[in-house]
Amino acid sequence: MTLRILKGHIVQTPSFGALDIAENAFLVTENGKTVGIFNALPDRFGDGEIVDCGDRLIMPSFADTHFHAPQYPMLGMGMDLPLLDWLNTYTFKTEYEFKDKDFAREVYKRLAAELIANGTTRVCVFSSLHREATIVLFEEFEKAGLTGYAGKVNMDRNSGELLTETTEESEKETLRWLDEVSDFRRIKPVLTPRFTPTCSDRLMAFLGRLAKERDLPVQSHLSENTSEIAWVRELHPDCSQYWESYAKFGLFNDKTMMAHCVYSDERERKALKDNGVWVSHCPDSNVNLISGTAPVRRMIDDGVKVTLGSDIAGGAQLEMYRVVTAAIRASKIKRIETDWNDAFLTVAEAFWLGTAAAAPFFGAKGGFAAGEPLHAIVVDDASLPPPARRLSVIERFERLPYLMTKDNIVAVYSDGKKVK
Amino acid sequence: MTLRILKGHIVQTPSFGALDIAENAFLVTENGKTVGIFNALPDRFGDGEIVDCGDRLIMPSFADTHFHAPQYPMLGMGMDLPLLDWLNTYTFKTEYEFKDKDFAREVYKRLAAELIANGTTRVCVFSSLHREATIVLFEEFEKAGLTGYAGKVNMDRNSGELLTETTEESEKETLRWLDEVSDFRRIKPVLTPRFTPTCSDRLMAFLGRLAKERDLPVQSHLSENTSEIAWVRELHPDCSQYWESYAKFGLFNDKTMMAHCVYSDERERKALKDNGVWVSHCPDSNVNLISGTAPVRRMIDDGVKVTLGSDIAGGAQLEMYRVVTAAIRASKIKRIETDWNDAFLTVAEAFWLGTAAAAPFFGAKGGFAAGEPLHAIVVDDASLPPPARRLSVIERFERLPYLMTKDNIVAVYSDGKKVK
């Protein structure tokens, strides 16, 4: 039994709108799992190793619930192009390079290190369609200390010359990939139909059966932009809305993470809620690709389970604290668009979206709940602009998403282990 | 005569939409002024000191045409508050602290260093109403190598208890401040009525006369949000639009920098154009304070002289390369709002806004024009994500505003001198 005790200012957002602060308090962990938070250290923990974080902030680490790992090499590029040109000029060509395992290892090793350095410890991530590169992703992400889900992409139509696989190949490679990753402990497989237009009915049906038989999670894209929605309507005239093209194959339930949902109207939001589907809101990507402004606050108010995704490389920032501010900005844009009717997201609310909100998707309780493996960052804000007076811990917390960089993140704990 | 020659990939945006690239070229300067750009070094410059920047990019440095220096201590704070609460809880209290010269020196020294570190070399900046702290600002900014305009703020009504000055004080202190800064070479005074609601008619008339007599530039705020516009309408029932409350006092001409112009309609945009008034578009601030989305691309198309401002601390980012991306995002939001009718800003167009567009306001030609003092940054992008193939210089340039940090800026030249 290993007792480790972090001492410092403990800040967390355990539920939407809540902001719990314990100053100069003790976060006790036993074998990497949280025991509790104490203002004074109980005698029974007297033997523990105390990590004194001094005046620093101890906060939950981030969860990035939607991004494309093989698009990391093109981060910040092609932002002047319309979506289809962007896909053809950059995205498909870049993902194609992951046929090369060595290139994949170089990129995924670097990406994993950047994620950890920036305080992201939970991920739900798209690989490319390449089985071997996907195994490399599992290896490098797990080695770096990341946890969560990663998926080999399935795409057997409408995908251009470079990236199409046949339905048979897609099925076979998926099964082989699942066999090959069965021993990973922290990164687990998630079935990943790229999106409805790139997956035949037969492939979708196969994935739906597989999800059910093996109790696997699913990730895909939903209602990101208007032309995509029109395309799905053409492909599935039997579906009155986009989400039904997933639902009819058993790919729309409480283990499903759907990215974007920019154009999910009241009916689609109700379907998301009723089916317990998770939404990954990707505010930076939605602006960069001129997709639209997602009704993020409205979705939350409607009871949809919303989380945050960097969506690199549609998003240009993998730093989830910056995605937190992008979500705030998206909600403020929506407030302007609705003539100041829709509420905006506060810093605490958006921080919750980027941390605790996603924990149940990963089978955990949010924040520093007792019994949960520790997922935390320690932040030193001494290098930030000198304030006019002594700031409260709340104020220090509130400016972090806007101002911090990875240099301020002095320690990262993932699944109970110190990984930075 | 000192010849200094920078060798590297020279990238500039000399006019709206233009992107000039000279790879492995020579930027020749004589006594700090640009002579020209050469693909091969002419013999007559054979004696010059060559600064070999290798594979790095040599680009124009940034101009920040609107920000509040005394709000730097509250950067990123109070973002959940409505504008008036934000002003009363943070802004006025923070600016009040600049009654203390020592505090002012600590903040302005730090701010000046951050601006230079991030590649900003030209500024048009608000101080507080305090004359002494404003002198400190001149001293610290000039010492750090910044150039441009700074102004003691005038505000003799509607400013709360902490910051109001009487009209007499405001006039007297302004004249004394102008005397005291007459010897500064690189930072010059700009008259700074805070905005119409905080300046009496008498004070505005005084400032208008002073601007004319001494040929001084002017900076203020215009049409930032709807309640402010309604307030000005009440205060100046004789003015059919906000801009007229400046124009009638001689504070609206080609030496005037007006921040925001979020709600400038066709008529106000025409007034801006016809009077040669400069606009400082502050996209980050406009979202944070839920002001609205300025029609930035529309203003440019209408022939208005648009530049970029960080507007800290309504803006939460003093890094002008990030404000460049915020301007792109604002233009994309406007494109969404106009049902994809308004064009968005490309990276090159927005980079121009943050660099060359503002040069004439500072009495210079944009970019690396011959005869102009060198304002440049040297950028090392080797630490950015590893691309899938060798990138062109255009691609390297395009991802910089999204990805670079001050760590990538390895050298800064301001007014011909190396300042970082």
Q: Kindly list the strands in the beta sheet with A278-281, ordered across the sheet, starting from the edge strand earlier in the chain.
A: A218-222, A256-260, A278-281, A305-308
| Token pair for A146 | 């990341």
- For A49, A236, B91, B104, B281, the CA distances from B78, given in Å and listed in that order, are 37, 47, 9, 21, 21
Pick from B76, B107, B387: CB nearest A399: B76
Nearest one of B142, B159, B160 to B150, comparing CA atoms? B142
Asked if residue B404 and residue B343 are part of one domain, the reply reads no
DSSP A36: E
The DSSP H or E segment spanning A130 is none
For testing the chain A interface, which of B19, B71, B74, B79 should be mutated: the one with the most A CBs within 10 Å?
B79
State yes or no: pLDDT of A333 exceeds 90.
Answer: yes
In a domain, B360, yes or no: no
Distance from CA of B293 to the nearest CA of A (A): 8
DSSP A88: I
Domain span including residue A193: 62-354
Measured between beta carbons, the chain A residues lying within 8 angstroms of B111 are 385
The Cα–Cα gap between A95 and A70 comes to 5
| CATH number of the structural domain spanning residue A370 | 2.30.40.10
Number of domains in chain B: 2
Chain-chain contact of B73 with A106 (C-beta, under 8 angstroms): no
Please give the pLDDT value at position B82.
76
Measured between beta carbons, the chain B residues lying within 8 angstroms of A347 are 79-80
The Cα–Cα gap between A149 and B166 comes to 64
State yes or no: pLDDT of A234 exceeds 80.
Answer: yes
Asked if residue B103 and residue B34 are part of one domain, the reply reads no
Chain-chain contact of A335 with B93 (C-beta, under 8 angstroms): no
In a domain, B160, yes or no: yes
Measured between beta carbons, the chain A residues lying within 8 angstroms of B288 are 329, 332
Q: Are B318 and B312 in contact (CB under 8 A)?
A: yes
Asked if residue A411 and residue A334 are part of one domain, the reply reads no
Give mean pLDDT, residues B302-312. 98
Q: Are A152 and A70 in contact (CB under 8 A)?
A: no
pLDDT digits (tens, 9 = 90+) for A250-264: 999 999 999 999 999
Q: How confident is the model at residue B396 (pLDDT cuts 50, 70, 90)?
A: very high
Please give the pLDDT value at position B151.
98
Asked if residue A45 and residue A86 are part of one domain, the reply reads no
Asked if residue B383 and residue B343 are part of one domain, the reply reads no
pLDDT digits (tens, 9 = 90+) for B140-183: 999 999 999 999 999 999 988 889 899 999 999 999 999 999 99
Q: Are B71 and B95 in contact (CB under 8 A)?
A: yes
Could you identify the residue written with the tokens 């301001």?
B414
| Token pair for B140 | 């610290």
Asked if residue A250 and residue A394 are part of one domain, the reply reads no
Distance from CA of B324 to the nearest CA of A (A): 13
The Cα–Cα gap between A136 and A61 comes to 24
Asked if residue A254 and residue A244 are part of one domain, the reply reads yes
In a domain, B302, yes or no: yes
Instruction: Please identify, among A309, A334, A354, the residue that sits at the C-terminal boundary of a domain.
Output: A354
In a domain, A132, yes or no: yes
Please give the pLDDT value at position B161.
85
pLDDT digits (tens, 9 = 90+) for B85-108: 888 888 999 999 999 999 999 999
Pick from A110, A329, A401: CB nearest B386: A110
Measured between beta carbons, the chain B residues lying within 8 angstroms of A346 are 80
Distance from CA of A373 to the nearest CA of B (A): 31
Instruction: Please identify, among B299, B330, B354, the residue that sits at the C-terminal boundary of a domain.
Output: B354
Asked if residue B49 and residue B33 are part of one domain, the reply reads yes
State yes or no: pLDDT of A413 exceeds 90.
Answer: yes
| CA angle B189–B195–B362, rounded 5-degree value | 35
State yes or no: pLDDT of B137 exceeds 90.
Answer: yes
Chain-chain contact of B402 with A316 (C-beta, under 8 angstroms): yes
- For A4, A21, A34, A48, A86, the CA distances from A39, given in Å and listed in that order, are 16, 11, 15, 16, 52
Q: Are A224 and A291 in contact (CB under 8 A)?
A: yes
Nearest one of B240, B217, B242, B219 to B231, comparing CA atoms? B242
Please give the pLDDT value at position A89.
83
DSSP A196: G
Please give the backbone phi and psi of residue B28, each rounded to the nearest 5 degrees, phi first: -95, 130
- For A247, A358, A365, the CA distances from A268, given in Å and listed in that order, are 12, 21, 27
Q: Are B346 and B332 in contact (CB under 8 A)?
A: no
For A292, name the nearest residue in chain B, comparing CA atoms only. B336
The Cα–Cα gap between B202 and B207 comes to 9
Q: Which residues contact A172 (CB under 8 A, 6 or more apart)?
A: none
Q: Are A163 and A87 in contact (CB under 8 A)?
A: no
Q: Are B358 and B65 in contact (CB under 8 A)?
A: yes
State yes or no: pLDDT of A87 exceeds 90.
Answer: no
Q: Are B412 and B420 in contact (CB under 8 A)?
A: yes
Asked if residue B119 and residue B228 are part of one domain, the reply reads yes
Measured between beta carbons, the chain A residues lying within 8 angstroms of B336 are 290, 292-293
Asked if residue A350 and residue A400 are part of one domain, the reply reads no
Percent of chain B with pLDDT over 70: 100
Pick from A73, A387, A401: CB nearest B73: A387
Asked if residue B285 and residue B184 are part of one domain, the reply reads yes
- For A364, B310, B380, the CA distances from B112, given in Å and listed in that order, are 46, 14, 22
State yes or no: pLDDT of A20 exceeds 80.
Answer: yes
Residue B36, judged by CB atoms within 10 A of its CB (0-12, 13-18, 19+), counts as middle
The Cα–Cα gap between B178 and A325 comes to 40
Please give the pLDDT value at position A367.
85
pLDDT digits (tens, 9 = 90+) for A152-207: 999 999 988 888 899 999 999 999 999 999 999 999 999 999 999 999 999 999 99
Q: Are B296 and B330 in contact (CB under 8 A)?
A: yes
Measured between beta carbons, the chain A residues lying within 8 angstroms of B294 are none
Please give the pLDDT value at position B366.
85
Please give the pLDDT value at position A85.
82
| B261: Cα separation from own chain's centroid | 15
Q: Which residues contact B356 (CB under 8 A, 6 or more apart)?
A: B12, B13, B14, B15, B60, B366, B367
In a domain, B192, yes or no: yes
Measured between beta carbons, the chain A residues lying within 8 angstroms of B330 are none
For testing the chain A interface, which of B103, B336, B349, B379 should be mutated: the one with the most A CBs within 10 Å?
B336
Half-sphere exposure for B42 (CA within 13 Å, toward CB): 10
Chain-chain contact of B387 with A73 (C-beta, under 8 angstroms): yes
Distance from CA of B43 to the nearest CA of A (A): 39
Instruction: Report whether the peptide linkage leading into residue B313 is cis, meaning its omega lies within 30 degrees of zero.
Output: yes
Percent of chain B with pLDDT over 90: 95
Bridge partners, residue B361, by sequence: none
Half-sphere exposure for B321 (CA within 13 Å, toward CB): 24
State yes or no: pLDDT of B39 exceeds 90.
Answer: yes
Measured between beta carbons, the chain A residues lying within 8 angstroms of B333 are 287, 293, 333
Distance from CA of B372 to the nearest CA of A (A): 31
Nearest one of B180, B189, B197, B239 to B219, comparing CA atoms? B189
Q: Residue B384 CB: number of other CB atoms within 10 A? A: 20
In a domain, A51, yes or no: yes
Pick from A77, A332, A340: CB nearest B287: A332
Chain-chain contact of A110 with B80 (C-beta, under 8 angstroms): no
Give mean pLDDT, residues A293-318. 97
Chain-chain contact of A78 with B398 (C-beta, under 8 angstroms): yes
- For residues A198, A202, A206, A208, the Cα torsion angle rounded to the nearest 10 degrees is 70
Please give the pLDDT value at position B367.
85
For A225, name the nearest residue in chain B, comparing CA atoms only. B336
In a domain, A9, yes or no: yes
Residue A237, judged by CB atoms within 10 A of its CB (0-12, 13-18, 19+), counts as exposed
State yes or no: pLDDT of A228 exceeds 80.
Answer: yes
Please give the pLDDT value at position B1.
79
- For residues A278, A284, A285, A286, the Cα torsion angle rounded to the nearest 10 degrees is 80
Instruction: Please identify, among A305, A331, A354, the residue that sits at the C-terminal boundary of a domain.
Output: A354
SS3 labels along B79-123: CCCCHHHHHHHHHHHHHHHHHCHHHHHHHHHHHHHHHHHCCEEEE
Pick from B290, B336, B340: CB nearest A335: B290
Give mean pLDDT, residues B229-244. 97
Higher per-residue pLDDT: B82 or B287: B287
Please give the pLDDT value at position A111.
98
| CATH number of the structural domain spanning residue A225 | 3.20.20.140
The DSSP H or E segment spanning A161 is helix A160-163
Q: Which residues contact A65 (CB under 8 A, 6 or more apart)?
A: A122, A123, A124, A257, A259, A278, A280, A307, A308, A309, A358, A361
Q: Residue B360 CB: number of other CB atoms within 10 A? A: 14
SS3 labels along chain B: CCEEEEEEEEEECCCCCCCEEEEEEEEEEECCEEEEEECCCCHHHCCCEEEEEEEEEEEECEEEEEEEHHHHHHCCCCCCCCHHHHHHHHHHHHHHHHHCHHHHHHHHHHHHHHHHHCCEEEEEEECCCCHHHHHHHHHHHHHHCCEEEEECEECCCCCHHHHCCCHHHHHHHHHHHHHHCCCCCCEEECEEECCHHHCCHHHHHHHHHHHHHHCCCEEEEECCCHHHHHHHHHHCCCCCCCCHHHHCCCCCCCCEEEEECCCCCHHHHHHHHHCCCEEEECHHHHHHCCCCCCCHHHHHHCCCEEEECCCECCECCCCHHHHHHHHHHHHHHHHHHCCCCCCCCCHHHHHHHHCHHHHHHHCCCCCCCCCCECCEEEECCCCCCCCCCCCCHHHHHHHHHHHCCHHHEEEEEECCEECC
In the predicted model, what is the mean pLDDT of chain B? 96
Pick from B73, B332, B403: CB nearest A388: B73
Q: Which residues contact B47 (CB under 8 A, 6 or more apart)?
A: B3
In a domain, B224, yes or no: yes
Measured between beta carbons, the chain A residues lying within 8 angstroms of B317 are 402
Asked if residue B16 and residue B147 are part of one domain, the reply reads no
Pick from A76, A103, A398: CB nearest B403: A76
Nearest one of A411, A336, A235 to B287, comparing CA atoms? A336
Q: How confident is the model at residue B114 (pLDDT cuts 50, 70, 90)?
A: very high
The type of residue at B190 is: V
Q: How much of chain A is helix, strand and coil, in % rounded to 5?
A: 40, 25, 35
The Cα–Cα gap between A245 and B312 comes to 46
Q: How many CB pairs under 8 A join A and B?
A: 121
The Cα–Cα gap between B44 and B353 comes to 35
Pick from B316, B399, B405: CB nearest A402: B316
Give mean pLDDT, residues B374-392. 95
